[in-house]
Structure 1
């Protein structure tokens, strides 16, 4: 016991001087979960607002400071040995308040997961195109992104016209030129769900034989978890046109809901692309707390991260669910900004250099990242440590 205590102190010292901090507990609550994740950026965000960057806005014809208000809620994908982070950037417009500004997507790239280089201009935005009725003037928000086996990129995002938020789809062959396909449910049953508030589309993916994260089919279809304050499920054969899963009466049916007594008592919202593993489909989701019926010490409206496990063949069938958040606002920049109550809003997940990198928005204001070693690498590390201890 004495030797273990000394080792623990030594490891804690190494973590502190290297800027590495454990997120939540040092061990996973359940074996099927991803993680545990570590903070490694010296307690700082990787992307923050820039009041000097400018852009010629197609909506107004004016030069605007497109990321002067905030940068947050990122998607991520690996291409050509680099992590590409698509983040939501808000231009300050009119009065302060959530949802009152204009959003566009910026891009930052990294070769090591630590240092990020940003593009000067937004790479995806409301334009003078056939989607302007859905995107003017609130913008394009909260992306998620996946790659197909044949190298095409699928972007899901929220179109905000200051009336109804709609989950939409865009595709690209190079991450530079994008084709907007419009709302994901626009054509389903003559637009039955097109005027329903929808957002947060997370498409199920898996690691292929080359260690690449790609969208995957289950029983001949692609699957997407989406929505808030419940999480629903949809399927597609082409990744563009989606059909919500309905019950026998033809009503949309949630596959995950808030739980009184837990950290996700107020709402649940789909996070980054879920991962198909040997245990099942691991769904990382955002969770909101209501302290009077949830976890009192978390407070109201706090966004944390949860994980749930679904059947690999029946994506609507939940098998297990974590009782505690695996990530929550703890650092100063995670609890200060537009959203004063604090968020670790998870949206981007990549597999890079034998580790998982999880990207999240903080307080609707900045971008953070945490990482976790591969399970195999972790086991090898533990075996080496056991040998050293003998």
Structure 2
């Protein structure tokens, strides 16, 4: 449920530079490094989990220790691959990939929870994996959506991306303590079944891709962590409203608890979309933000009418997919928040996240 505001958004982003670029001669990075997850190992060391793209658009998830100088992340030290598309459902006849990891540490579970896109036989599908050390990941499998009669639609029919869990439980609409998860259903079935076109759930009046929220009861996940793949209570959260979001929006890093509620960074897209599975060349991705209600994150208290960060530097405007700023992780380093983001689907940048001083 979305509502806009005319007040100044309470957070800003300031770019700090490139933290990771493709390594010369590394075949696994021939088509870019981008859109990382992040996390801390048990000894407190901060790591990126970048998407590594090899020739042919085949993606893996890597592990790279973040180099910090004077409190600022400045580079990485690579430590290999932690997830590759080596399961049958992560590979098609002419494609393969485990893409765009979002990593949330959930203290109640004592686990890092990774949501990622498995690029398999029928296209992109959201999947879940867990780890207690960032190095060894246990696949829980593809996400499954419980049927909701009120939607008059099975969400399992649709491709889905930009999924990420909240770090702390919230109360679901049915009153059950739950882990909330954001996702972006893709309503166009044309890629799966030509001629089928766009199908939307009951009550959806805007066919553009938007952010939805679903829930997993905490008790279920504590009893069996594989419950993190069974999502229910699906609700529309927010759709495109402003010029920089004209085509679609999608969620970014795990929502961050702040004094105002939950801070959600997202991306907005303008331009011209090619076929859904093609690398886009005529789009522009920019970073925006929302504040969600602390007790009921289906309520959007405020959001940005202009981007917090848009493609302006050469690293952001030129690359595999030009004109892309794509935030995917937030970390605190020595008391300062930093956002890690994909740059033109080719490199990884870092920006400082600041709270505005009250006037």
Give yes or no for TM over 0.5: yes
Q: 1:355 to 1:104 in 2, by over 3 A?
A: same
Q: Distance in 2 between matches of 1:290 and 1:91?
A: 26
Tell me whether 1:231 sits opposite 2:199 in the alignment.
no
Correspondence for 1:156: 115
Say if 2:16 and 2:349, in contact at 8 Å, map to a contact too: no
Aligned pairs for 1:134-173 within 5 A: 134-136=90-92, 137-149=95-107, 151-161=110-120, 163-173=122-132
Q: Distance in 2 between matches of 1:258 and 1:371?
A: 25
Instruction: Give SS of 1:334's match.
Output: helix
Q: Distance in 2 between matches of 1:151 and 1:368?
A: 28
Correspondence for 1:37: 13
Q: Distance in 2 between matches of 1:185 and 1:279?
A: 32
Say if 1:202 and 1:272, in contact at 8 Å, map to a contact too: yes
Aligned pairs for 1:136-215 within 5 A: 136=92, 137-149=95-107, 151-161=110-120, 163-185=122-144, 188-189=146-147, 192-204=154-166, 215=167
Greater relative CO (CA pairs within 8 A, separation 6+): 2
Correspondence for 2:50: 87
Instruction: Give SS of 1:122's match.
Output: strand
Instruction: Give SS of 2:90's match.
Output: helix
Q: 1:346 to 1:163 in 2, by over 3 A?
A: same
Query: Aligned match of 2:299 in 306, 312, 317?
Result: 317
Say if 2:263 and 2:289, in contact at 8 Å, map to a contact too: yes
Say if 1:199 and 1:226, in contact at 8 Å, map to a contact too: yes
Q: Distance in 2 between matches of 1:67 and 1:195?
A: 32
Root-mean-square deviation (CA, aligned residues, Å) is 2.6
Query: Aligned match of 2:19 in 40, 46, 63?
Result: 46
Query: Aligned match of 2:349 in 354, 359, 368?
Result: 368
How far is the alpha carbon of 1:51 from its aligned partner? Answer: 4.5
Q: Distance in 2 between matches of 1:300 and 1:66?
A: 26
Tell me whether 1:245 sits opposite 2:254 in the alignment.
no
Q: Distance in 1 between matches of 2:67 and 2:7?
A: 32
- How many residues align? The count is 298
Q: Distance in 2 between matches of 1:50 and 1:30?
A: 43
Q: Distance in 2 between matches of 1:300 and 1:135?
A: 27
Tell me whether 1:216 sits opposite 2:197 in the alignment.
no
Rg larger in 1 or in 2?
A: 1
Q: Distance in 2 between matches of 1:289 and 1:255?
A: 20
How far is the alpha carbon of 1:244 from its aligned partner? Answer: 4.2
Say if 2:141 and 2:229, in contact at 8 Å, map to a contact too: no
Q: Which residues of structure 1 form unaligned runs of 5+?
A: 1-28, 54-64, 94-100, 205-214, 247-252, 292-298, 383-390
